[in-house]
């Protein structure tokens, strides 16, 4: 199995797609090889700012802990994501602008924790053609909703309610919700994201298929309905995030047990989340779910 | 074509930015020169700001809606007009309500805030008219036809973007470039915008493609430049087509960034006579499945040469050489 | 009490007017001839009871004798005097000046208003007020007006002139027909108030003679004037299809001791013969001039209020100024390009159109003079109203420069009010900078020139301002001299309007304002449409003086660009600008290559949600030439906010016209240009209810079930 990199510099860095591609080998994807960490660190670029947030150690410590958890837990996948997403977010304390730089995620996946990416994303079953199971390339280098670390960070960013990461944990509990919703523009509206989570909490949505059906209905309905108007969010304020980032210097490592706290941003108005939760529940009741309504339909038709 | 299950007004919705105020730390304020935004291009160039440490930009907007039509037809109640500022790259979405100005409810004004750390590159700004229709609140009944672009780094409000061109010694640059030391240029398509690197180890390369020097040099330079451009367009096309996001049903999506723009530009030459979406589907199918990818290469090459204006450069060069010959024999 | 001229001269004129001898008056009043002579020479004045008798003899009321502001009406009434034919038999066909113009209300409004502006009284800070009144006369009112202007005396002359096959003859002929057949005559009155009025002698130099007697003269009053009563006045006559204009003027400076109701009429006709006598050119309506050699010559007279009213010349106040009444007004120019904008009526004298043309012309040409700012009064106020037989037909409309030139008047307003900015940061703001005009020395007067700073105003344009990206230049009279496009603006420059205020227009504080004003006026040709080399400029300054104007233009364009133009390109820091320029990403396809193929495409879509929740679609397809060989699959999808749209299957797909449906694919009839089909979606394939979202229908090539 791919091992922890031998060479871990003091600071995080940026790794361009072109360079990243050269390290994503068949050997790595199948977990048989390690990343040549010394060579890799020669092709990186420095981060534009030098502050405490980017001390590599802080992230690697989290990875070490989660690796341990992955081995210990019974349902490793969702539990690991639910544990790591808020903690990664609270450790890195990135702005969205910084988080939009794929080079940082490339570096995390290849330079800091290739062992984790392989452990987390290596399928347990062999390929259809009988080949050895391999990690999808996009887990190392890919868009924000597929890359191993970007997807966790963005889940935390889009599903947190101000400083409260609880909804993030819930969202991670339904991997299909994570995979489907994260790629849709509708979750850029906070009350929408929180209403989706609430339906999981209420156990209206239990399975992956249900999550997918709900997500498609919400996405389709959003083509004609402006959720932002029927369920207003509070106005964005840049200051809490700025303060939170500034406080990174003196912050102690995030708690391994209790949920960390995010920036002290205003929470989404409760009424807005309620309005959408009810509306989505109605949508879901109407939506065809694969496997759920087949019988009804065929008997009706 | 689209149809909606509820009535929508047919008149246009237009929007323009009327003022931009940047705020920085310590109450610092700056009103952006109107040269920083263009109604013609519908672009705001925030990089034009004098101070670089601004944290928020408040954009004042004015929108016009087909008020008379909405009044006469009477299908819509509780009309609101909202502006939406969004950027795919950062999943940022800000919504602001506009207020009617004047008696006719035709013009709506207001402002929307852009929080700088929430944005990377270019945000789109659009206006939507939302109303209650047939008892359903919150329906989008009309939207502005063309989005504005709010570019957080550009200092010129132009819609078209240029690829980055840098000059660098491949032999002495970052380690990964050294293996390419024999190449005169290289296209790196991995960044926010593709970057073309010109290798300064080739003495005089830059001057040549810039068209400096004697007549002969400028003729050669022109040919070289079109060669370079052909390489670049071929490379960016392959990157764009190779990096497609594929949906569960197999539909390739046009990427939101420069890749999408490049595809929009070149696909009509690669698969002529089709809609861009249609052409994209076809190219993607050939690349991934049915083995006719190789057959498509000449068309991609054709699109790149056209985009690089090779025929024009070639014609001019031939004519230029003839003229030089005449001068030499005269 | 208002008192007119001295008794002696006044009495002398009354005797002349009434053709009464001193002895006759002496007899009628019962005094000696010597006593009358003494009154006339001013050696004595009559006693009160004698005055009563004199009034009786002259058929005047006693008050008039005391005030002496009008003349007796007892003598010959006002009448038409037609100038006899030239002794040499030369024939002129109509007023030479009037021929220069087609009847064009835009030109009339420009010239007449410019005259009023030039004649504005400088003593007060009040604007000159100009009012255009259109009045359509019919029936009884028209008959009364004809009587008032002694139509019967005129008619033979018109008949003779109309009979000639000359252009003027044809215009008159049409005018007469219009009046008789439709029983309709349009009067257009141009009034100004707070202006000089037609002062001066009937014949000698002065405003009066310039307008009434000499058609080709231009009499300039001050150096700021545009062209006082120059050629422009001829447009008054050119606008009348009868060549007839009546004038009533209230004078700012007394003439013959009077100011009120100085009347005259002038008719311009071609050479004609009436009752065997030849007549050449003009005729005047007036009072016979007792002092003239020819007993039939007429001059202006001081009319009473009834006469003024009967001639539709009554003025609304005592403010000095002039009223021109154009009899039979028409607007030939408006016919060109008419109809296109949904005009009411298409007559050349449709009241609505004439009204609108006047308002527009005033707005377009005089926005600057009408603009106010801060606490400053405008130079001009203008309005247009339309009546029928004196009753309101179209409401009086005060011309508002903001409506006709929103951007330019906003610019000037900001300048006058001191609200300009250095740098535009918000739409609607006006930036002001100064540009240099190096006024050269006047020939032989070294040191008389210097650097003037003209004021350049720039603001964002609106559609109402006309063509964008122009600089409108003017000097002290605020009349647009020229409007020129700023060249070489980079792509992406927002549309703007600029105003260049030079000379006195730059404000009192501007250096060398008076010198610049004079310099620019000297460089202005009679058409007042540019600043350039003129003979006068060459003589007064130097042969190269006009280059200073070119320098001003260059400086102006440069300053405009600095204010509005976006930078062309990024700074070429590493010498790769040319390469970068070739590597632009725009998302726009290159111009169509020769390989372009035209495919059938959807042209119209009609879709509703049926009771069963399915979409019912009728679509029309446009088939280009050669496109009928393509097979197209209609595909229906549900709209989404982002990502792929779920495809819904057709439950039913049928051809309606010019096509067949074969396995869900459209085959077009050969040669068909349009085809249509109908479809119903399969509800079981909807991922959401139809009412929730939009439906997208596309045509794909070949079999289109794969989406």
Q: Write out residues 223-252 of A within 8 Å (CB-CB) of B.
A: 223-230, 232-233, 235-236, 238, 241-242
Q: For residues B295 and B302, give the distance between their C-alpha atoms in angstroms, rounded to a whole number.
A: 12
Residues 6 or more apart from C585 whose CB is under 8 A from it? B160, B161, B162, B163, B193, B258, B261, B262, B265
C248, two tokens:
């009533």
Q: Is C591 on the interface with B (CB under 8 A)?
A: no
User: Would you place residue C707 in the very low, low, confident or very high pLDDT band (cuts 50, 70, 90)?
Assistant: very low
Burial class (CB in 10 A: 0-12, 13-18, 19+), C217: middle
List the subunits that have 3+ CB pairs under 8 angstroms with A. Answer: B, C
Nearest by CB to residue C609, choosing from B5, B193, B261, is B5
Contact C595 B206 (CB under 8 A): no
- Name all domains of chain C by residue range, CATH numbers in brackets: 7-67 (1.10.260.40), 84-394 (no CATH), 406-564 (no CATH), 601-701 (2.60.40)
B184: closest CA among B158, B156, B159, B220?
A: B220
Q: For residues C214 and B320, give the distance between their C-alpha atoms in angstroms, rounded to a whole number.
A: 68
CB-CB neighbours of B253 under 10 Å? 17
Q: What is the pLDDT of residues B63-89, one digit of tens each?
A: 999 999 999 998 999 999 999 999 999
DSSP SS3 for C16 = helix
Q: For residues C431 and C414, give the distance between their C-alpha atoms in angstroms, rounded to a whole number.
A: 9
Contact C697 B62 (CB under 8 A): no
Q: What is the mean pLDDT of chain C?
A: 83
Q: Which residues of B touch A238 (CB under 8 A)?
A: 55-56, 115-118
Residues 6 or more apart from C358 whose CB is under 8 A from it? C105, C109, C132, C134, C384
Q: What is the pLDDT of residues C284-295, one digit of tens each?
A: 888 877 666 665
Shortest alpha-carbon distance between residue B196 and chain A (Å) = 13
Nearest by CB to residue A228, choosing from B82, B113, B139, is B82
Phi, psi of B73 (to 5 degrees): -75, -35
User: Would you place residue C348 in the very low, low, confident or very high pLDDT band (cuts 50, 70, 90)?
Assistant: low
**Can you name the residues that pair with C484 across neighbouring β-strands?**
C471
Return the beta strands (E) in chain A as ranges: none
pLDDT of residue A8: 93
Q: What is the pLDDT of residues C640-665, one digit of tens each?
A: 998 888 889 999 999 999 998 988 89
pLDDT of residue C706: 40
User: Would you place residue C681 in the very low, low, confident or very high pLDDT band (cuts 50, 70, 90)?
Assistant: very high
DSSP string of C373-431, one letter each residue? BTTBPPSEEEEEEEEETTEEEEEEEE--HHHHSHHHHHHHHHHHHT--BSS--BTT--E
Q: Is A56 on the interface with C (CB under 8 A)?
A: no
| Minimum Cα–Cα distance from A293: chain C residue | C684
Q: What is the pLDDT of residues C26-47, one digit of tens each?
A: 888 888 888 888 888 888 888 8
pLDDT of residue C92: 56
Burial class (CB in 10 A: 0-12, 13-18, 19+), B44: buried
Contact C426 B60 (CB under 8 A): yes
pLDDT of residue C547: 92
Phi, psi of A241 (to 5 degrees): -65, -40
Q: For residues C446 and C439, give the distance between their C-alpha atoms in angstroms, rounded to a whole number.
A: 12
Contact A287 C639 (CB under 8 A): no
Q: What is the separation, in whole angstroms, between the first and last Cα of chain A?
A: 53
DSSP SS3 for C98 = helix
C668: closest CA among C704, C698, C624, C703?
A: C624
Q: For residues C289 and C17, give the distance between their C-alpha atoms in angstroms, rounded to a whole number.
A: 7
DSSP string of C247-280, one letter each residue? EEEE-SS-BTTB-S-EEEEEEE--SEEETTEEEE
Are the C-beta atoms of A172 and A154 separated by less than 8 Å? Answer: no
C407: closest CA among C423, C425, C431?
A: C431
Q: For residues C652 and C441, give the distance between their C-alpha atoms in angstroms, rounded to a whole number.
A: 89
Q: Is C595 on the interface with A (CB under 8 A)?
A: no
Nearest by CB to residue B265, choosing from C491, C588, C700, is C588
The interface predicted TM-score of the complex, written ipTM, equals: 0.91
Q: What is the pLDDT of residues C585-601, one digit of tens each?
A: 877 776 655 555 678 88
pLDDT of residue B293: 83
| Minimum Cα–Cα distance from C624: chain B residue | B273
pTM: 0.78
Phi, psi of C265 (to 5 degrees): -125, 150
Q: How many CA atoms lie within 13 A of A255 on its CB side?
A: 6
Nearest by CB to residue C579, choosing from B41, B196, B268, is B196
Q: Which residues of A touch B190 (CB under 8 A)?
A: 16-18
Q: Is A285 on the interface with C (CB under 8 A)?
A: no
CB-CB neighbours of C391 under 10 Å? 8
Q: For residues B255 and B275, give the distance between their C-alpha atoms in angstroms, rounded to a whole number.
A: 16
Are the C-beta atoms of A105 and A14 separated by less than 8 Å? Answer: no
**Can you name the residues that pair with C665 across neighbouring β-strands?**
C662
| Minimum Cα–Cα distance from A41: chain B residue | B175
Give me the total of CB pairs closer than 8 Å, taking one residue from chain A and one from chain C. 57
Are the C-beta atoms of C652 and C636 separated by less than 8 Å? Answer: no
C479, two tokens:
């009349």
Region for residue B217 given its phi and psi (left: phi exceeds 0; alpha: psi -120 to 50; beta: otherwise): alpha
pLDDT of residue A40: 93
A220: closest CA among A287, A149, A143, A175?
A: A287
Contact B95 A97 (CB under 8 A): no
Distances in Å between the Cα of A111 and the Cα atoms of A18, A19, A105, C262 are 14, 12, 9, 102
Contact A144 B91 (CB under 8 A): yes
Contact C583 B16 (CB under 8 A): no
Q: Which residues of chain B register pLDDT less than 70?
A: 248-249, 290-291, 330
Q: For residues A196 and C377, give the distance between their C-alpha atoms in angstroms, rounded to a whole number.
A: 65
- Name all domains of chain B by residue range, CATH numbers in brackets: 14-151 (2.60.40), 164-324 (no CATH)
Q: For residues C408 and C497, give the distance between their C-alpha atoms in angstroms, rounded to a whole number.
A: 6
DSSP SS3 for A25 = coil
Burial class (CB in 10 A: 0-12, 13-18, 19+), C304: middle
pLDDT at C475 over 80: yes
pLDDT of residue C212: 81
Q: Which residues of B touch C574 (CB under 8 A)?
A: 165-167, 206
| pLDDT (mean) for C538-560 | 92
Contact B210 C598 (CB under 8 A): no
Q: For residues C400 and C366, give the distance between their C-alpha atoms in angstroms, rounded to a whole number.
A: 10
C458: closest CA among C504, C505, C407, C413?
A: C407
C96, two tokens:
């030479």
- Structural domain boundaries of chain A? 1-150
Residues 6 or more apart from A285 whose CB is under 8 A from it? none
Residue of A16, A94, A96 to mutate, testing the B interface (most B Cβ within 10 Å of its Cβ): A96
Percentage of the residues of chain C whose pLDDT score is greater than 90: 33
DSSP string of C142-165, one letter each residue? HHHHHHHTTHHHHHHHHHHHHTS-
| Minimum Cα–Cα distance from A298: chain C residue | C684
pLDDT at C569 over 60: no
pLDDT at C69 over 70: no
pLDDT at C221 over 60: no
Q: What is the pLDDT of residues C368-422, one digit of tens each?
A: 999 988 777 889 999 999 999 999 999 999 999 988 899 999 999 999 989 899 8
Shortest alpha-carbon distance between residue A216 and chain C (Å) = 7
Q: If you ran DSSP here, which 8-state letter would residue A109 be given?
A: I
Residue of A49, A228, A248, A272 to mutate, testing the B interface (most B Cβ within 10 Å of its Cβ): A228
pLDDT of residue A294: 44
Q: For residues B49 and C205, give the distance between their C-alpha atoms in angstroms, rounded to a whole number.
A: 65
Element (DSSP H or E) covering residue B78:
strand B76-87
Contact A220 C643 (CB under 8 A): no
B115 vs C106, residue with greater confidence: B115
C442: closest CA among C371, C383, C521?
A: C521
Residue entry with tokens 């309620």: A274
Q: 10-residue block means of pLDDT along chain A (301 residues)?
A: 91 91 93 92 89 93 87 71 95 96 96 94 81 91 93 97 96 89 93 96 92 92 95 92 92 90 96 96 83 45 33
Are the C-beta atoms of C545 and C515 separated by less than 8 Å? Answer: no
Contact B91 A188 (CB under 8 A): yes
């Amino acid at each position: 199995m791919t091992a922890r990199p031998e060479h871990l510099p003091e600071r995080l860095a940026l790794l361009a797609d072109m360079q990243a591609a050269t390290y994503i080998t068949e050997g790595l994807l199948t977990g048989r090889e390690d990343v040549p960490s010394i060579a890799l660190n020669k092709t990186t670029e420095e981060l534009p700012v030098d502050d405490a947030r980017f001390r590599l150690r802080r992230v690697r410590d989290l990875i070490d802990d989660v690796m341990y958890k992955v081995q210990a837990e019974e349902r490793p996948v969702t539990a690991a994501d639910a544990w790591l997403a808020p903690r990664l977010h609270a450790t890195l304390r990135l702005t969205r602008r910084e988080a939009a730089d794929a080079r940082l995620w490339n570096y995390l996946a290849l330079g800091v924790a290739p062992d984790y990416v392989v452990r987390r994303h290596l399928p347990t079953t062999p390929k259809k053609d009988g080949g050895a199971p391999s990690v999808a390339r996009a887990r190392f280098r890919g868009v924000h909703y597929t890359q191993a670390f970007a997807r966790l960070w963005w889940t935390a960013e889009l599903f947190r309610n101000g400083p409260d990461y609880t909804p993030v944990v819930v969202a991670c509990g339904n991997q299909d919700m994570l995979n489907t919703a994260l790629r849709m523009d509708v979750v850029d509206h906070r009350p929408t994201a929180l209403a989706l989570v609430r339906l999981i909490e209420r156990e209206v949505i239990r399975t992956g298929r249900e999550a997918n059906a709900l997500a498609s209905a919400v996405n389709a309905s959003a083509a004609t309905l402006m959720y932002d108007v029927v369920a207003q969010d509070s106005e964005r304020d840049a200051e809490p995030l700025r303060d939170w980032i500034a406080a990174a210097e003196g912050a102690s490592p995030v708690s391994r047990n209790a949920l960390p706290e995010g920036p002290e941003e205003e929470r989404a108005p409760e009424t807005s989340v309620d309005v959408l939760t009810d509306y989505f529940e109605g949508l879901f009741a109407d939506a065809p779910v694969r496997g759920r309504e087949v019988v009804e339909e065929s008997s009706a038709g | 074509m689209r149809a909606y299950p509820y009535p929508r007004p047919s008149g246009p919705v237009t929007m323009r930015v009327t003022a931009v105020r940047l705020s920085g730390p310590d109450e610092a304020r700056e009103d952006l020169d109107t040269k920083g935004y263009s109604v013609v291009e519908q672009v705001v160039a925030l990089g034009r700001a004098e101070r670089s440490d601004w944290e928020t930009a408040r954009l004042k907007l004015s929108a016009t809606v087909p008020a008379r039509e909405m009044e006469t037809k009477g299908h819509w109640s509780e009309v609101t007009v909202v502006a939406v500022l969004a950027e795919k790259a950062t999943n940022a979405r800000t919504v602001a309500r506009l207020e009617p100005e004047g008696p006719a409810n035709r013009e709506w004004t207001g402002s929307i805030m852009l929080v700088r750390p929430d944005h990377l590159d270019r945000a789109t700004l659009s206006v939507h008219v939302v109303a209650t229709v047939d008892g359903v609140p919150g329906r989008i009944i009309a939207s502005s036809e063309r989005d504005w672009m709010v570019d957080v780094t550009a200092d010129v409000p132009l819609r078209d973007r240029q690829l980055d061109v840098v000059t660098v010694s491949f032999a002495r640059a970052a380690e990964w470039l050294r293996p390419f030391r024999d190449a005169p240029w290289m296209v790196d398509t991995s960044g926010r915008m593709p970057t073309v690197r010109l290798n300064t180890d080739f003495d005089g390369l830059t001057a040549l493609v810039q068209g400096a020097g004697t007549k002969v040099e400028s003729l050669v330079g022109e040919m070289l430049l079109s060669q370079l451009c052909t390489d670049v367009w071929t490379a960016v096309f392959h990157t764009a087509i190779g990096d497609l996001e594929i949906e569960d049903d197999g539909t390739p999506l046009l990427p939101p960034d420069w890749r999408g723009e490049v595809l929009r530009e070149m696909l009509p030459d690669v698969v002529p006579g089709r809609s861009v979406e249609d052409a994209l589907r076809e190219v993607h199918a050939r690349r991934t499945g049915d083995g006719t990818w190789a057959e498509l290469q000449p068309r991609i090459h054709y699109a790149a040469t056209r985009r690089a204006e090779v025929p024009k450069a070639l014609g001019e060069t031939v004519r230029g050489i003839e003229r030089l010959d005449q001068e030499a024999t005269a | 009490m208002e008192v007119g001229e001295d008794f002696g001269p006044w009495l002398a004129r009354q005797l002349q007017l009434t053709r009464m001898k001193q002895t006759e008056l002496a007899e009628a009043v019962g005094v000696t001839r010597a006593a009358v002579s003494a009154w006339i020479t001013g050696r004595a004045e009559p006693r009160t009871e004698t005055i009563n008798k004199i009034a009786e003899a002259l058929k005047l009321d006693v008050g008039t004798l005391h005030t002496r502001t009008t003349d007796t009406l007892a003598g010959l009434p006002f009448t038409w005097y037609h100038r006899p034919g030239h002794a040499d038999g030369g024939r002129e066909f109509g007023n030479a000046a009037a021929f220069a113009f087609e009847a064009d209300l835009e030109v009339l409004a420009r010239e007449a208003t410019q005259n009023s502006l030039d004649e504005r009284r400088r003593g007060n800070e009040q604007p000159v007020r100009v009012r255009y009144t259109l009045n359509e006369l019919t029936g009884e009112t028209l008959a009364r007006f004809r009587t008032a202007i002694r139509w019967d005396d005129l008619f033979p002359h018109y008949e003779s002139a109309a009979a000639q096959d000359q252009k003027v003859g044809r215009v008159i002929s049409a005018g007469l027909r219009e009046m008789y057949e439709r029983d309709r005559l349009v009067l257009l009155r141009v009034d100004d108030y707070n202006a000089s009025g037609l002062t001066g002698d009937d014949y000698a130099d002065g405003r009066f003679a310039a307008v009434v007697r000499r058609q080709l003269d231009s009499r300039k009053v001050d150096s700021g004037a545009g062209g006082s009563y120059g050629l422009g006045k001829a447009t008054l006559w050119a606008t009348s299809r009868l060549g007839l204009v009546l004038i009533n003027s209230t004078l700012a400076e007394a003439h013959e001791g009077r100011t009120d109701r100085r009347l005259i009429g002038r008719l311009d006709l071609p050479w004609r013969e009436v009752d065997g006598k030849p007549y050449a050119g003009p005729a005047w309506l007036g009072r016979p001039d007792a002092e003239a050699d020819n007993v039939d010559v007429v001059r202006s007279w001081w009319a009473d209020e009834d006469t003024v009213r009967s001639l539709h010349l009554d003025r609304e106040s005592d403010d000095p100024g002039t009223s021109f009444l154009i009899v039979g007004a028409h607007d030939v120019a408006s016919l060109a390009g008419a109809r296109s904008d949904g005009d009411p009526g298409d007559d050349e004298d449709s009241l609505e159109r004439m009204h609108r043309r006047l308002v527009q012309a005033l707005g377009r040409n005089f926005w600057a003079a009408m603009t106010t700012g801060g606490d400053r009064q405008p130079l001009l106020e203008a309005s247009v109203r339309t009546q029928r037989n004196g009753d309101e037909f179209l409401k009086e409309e005060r011309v508002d420069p903001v409506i006709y030139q929103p951007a330019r008047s906003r610019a000037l307003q900001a300048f006058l009010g001191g609200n300009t900015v250095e740098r535009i940061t918000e739409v609607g703001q006006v930036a002001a900078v100064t540009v240099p005009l190096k006024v050269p020395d006047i020939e032989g007067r070294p040191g008389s020139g210097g650097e003037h700073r003209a004021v350049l105003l720039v603001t964002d344009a609106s559609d109402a301002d006309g063509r964008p990206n122009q600089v409108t230049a003017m000097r002290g009279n605020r009349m647009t001299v020229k409007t020129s496009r700023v060249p070489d603006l980079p792509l992406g420059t927002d549309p703007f309007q600029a105003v260049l205020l030079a000379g006195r227009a730059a404000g009192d504080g501007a250096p060398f304002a008076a010198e610049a004003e004079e310099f620019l006026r000297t460089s202005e040709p009679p058409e007042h449409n540019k600043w350039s080399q003129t003979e006068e400029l060459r003589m007064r300054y130097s042969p190269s003086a006009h280059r200073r104007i070119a320098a001003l233009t260059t400086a102006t364009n440069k300053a405009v660009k600095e204010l509005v133009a976006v930078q062309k390109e990024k700074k070429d820091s590493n010498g790769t600008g040319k390469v970068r320029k070739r590597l632009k990403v725009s998302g726009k396809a290159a111009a169509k290559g020769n390989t372009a193929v035209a495919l059938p495409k959807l042209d119209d879509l009609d879709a509703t949600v049926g009771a069963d929740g399915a979409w019912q679609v009728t679509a029309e397809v446009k088939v280009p030439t050669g496109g009928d060989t393509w097979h197209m699959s209609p595909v229906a999808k549900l709209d989404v906010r982002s990502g792929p749209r779920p495809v819904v299957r057709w439950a039913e797909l049928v051809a309606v016209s010019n096509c067949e449906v074969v396995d869900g694919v459209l085959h077009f009839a050969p040669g068909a240009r349009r085809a249509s089909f109908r479809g119903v979606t399969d509800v079981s394939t909807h991922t959401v209810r139809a009412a929730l979202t939009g439906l997208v229908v596309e045509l794909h090539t070949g079999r289109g079930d794969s989406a």
